[in-house]
Amino acid sequence: MKKYFYTDGVEKHGPFSFEELKQQRITRETKVWYYGLEHWTKLADLDELKAITNSLPPPLKNTKEIAEKQGEIANEMNIKISPSKNRKKLIRGGFIAFVSVLALCIIFFFVQKQNQYNLYQEIKSSSYEADVDFDFYVEKFYRDIAVYGIFPKKPTTSIIKFAKFDHITDATHIHGISCAINDDDKIEIYINPSTWNSFKKPLRYYLIYHELAHDVLNLDDLANSSENEGKLMFPAIASYEAKTMDEFIESSHALFEEVAAKWKN
């Protein structure tokens, strides 16, 4: 009777009869030898042992094929996953852009603040006491607004001085500048002496009341457009050259009426 041997790659097992070989833990890949064979040969390649081969389950795909299949599956998953990945990337990109713009705005804001502060320091350091009784204008201003029922907090400090700032290119601030807007404890106004000396009485009132309205009532300039022309908070005061005292009184009282309406609410 023919005797068969097989090897698990390390050890040789056998001899076995055909029936005994069938019972062994062998696969189609197991190398088998029997007398008459020149080499150890894969079971699947031996016609003589086909009866055994056919009784064994087909081999698992080899590792390379398995790896390839896994790769394909992974690729397919990636294709499915990528749209949400892209969305995440887009969201992240948008977020980074948003933060960058915000940072630029903050930097811009602080640069502007710094420039404003530098301008203020420059004007302040060049300021000097004027031989003008500015307190007279301040007291009159407070009396005028009191008539309308406007009683803002009386500031503890009042500085109104001359300061030369003809060189400042911002046209709305070459005549006078209020530096204590939103600071209710302080009036701080600088008036350009060359402006003051060239301005006639109504224009001087326009200027000082305009700056006091900034400082005491915390009002902003109106837009420099034709519909605001004639109003006290119109930024281009110098254009009022031909105005009369009556026009000044009319425009200042119109403003106080407006402020009083808000003051009551």
Binding region for Zn ion (CB under 5 A)? 221
> Residue 210 Cβ, how far from Zn ion at the closest point, in Å?
6
> Residue 237 Cβ, how far from Zn ion at the closest point, in Å?
8
Q: Name residues whose C-beta falls within 8 Å of residue 138's C-beta, 6 or more positions apart in sequence.
A: 158, 160, 187, 212
> Residue 221 Cβ, how far from Zn ion at the closest point, in Å?
4
Instruction: Rank residues 26 and 177 by Cβ distance to Zn ion and give the closer one.
Output: 177
Instruction: Rank residues 21 and 177 by Cβ distance to Zn ion and give the closer one.
Output: 177
What span, in angstroms and rounded, lies between the C-alpha atoms of 93 and 102?
A: 14
Instruction: Rank residues 150 and 219 by Cβ distance to Zn ion and give the closer one.
Output: 219
User: Which long-range contacts link 217-223 to residues 24+ away (Cβ below 8 Å)?
Assistant: 217/145, 217/150, 217/152, 217/259, 218/181, 218/182, 218/184, 219/255, 219/259, 221/172
Q: Name residues whose C-beta falls within 8 Å of residue 216's C-beta, 6 or more positions apart in sequence.
A: 141, 142, 145, 152, 155, 187
Residue 79 tokens, joined: 């294709």
Neighbours of 42 (CB within 10 A): 14
Instruction: Rank residues 49 and 177 by Cβ distance to Zn ion and give the closer one.
Output: 177
Instruction: Rank residues 29 and 220 by Cβ distance to Zn ion and give the closer one.
Output: 220
Name the closest residue to Zn ion (Cβ). Answer: 221
What span, in angstroms and rounded, lies between the C-alpha atoms of 40 and 13?
A: 12
Sign of the four-CA dihedral 6, 12, 18, 23: negative
Instruction: Rank residues 6 and 206 by Cβ distance to Zn ion and give the closer one.
Output: 206
Residue 180 tokens, joined: 């204590």
Instruction: Rank residues 53 and 178 by Cβ distance to Zn ion and give the closer one.
Output: 178
> Residue 214 Cβ, how far from Zn ion at the closest point, in Å?
5
187, HSE (Cβ side, Cα atoms, 13 Å): 26
3-state helix, strand, coil in the chain (%, to 5): 55, 10, 30
> Residue 167 Cβ, how far from Zn ion at the closest point, in Å?
19
> Residue 204 Cβ, how far from Zn ion at the closest point, in Å?
15
> Residue 179 Cβ, how far from Zn ion at the closest point, in Å?
12
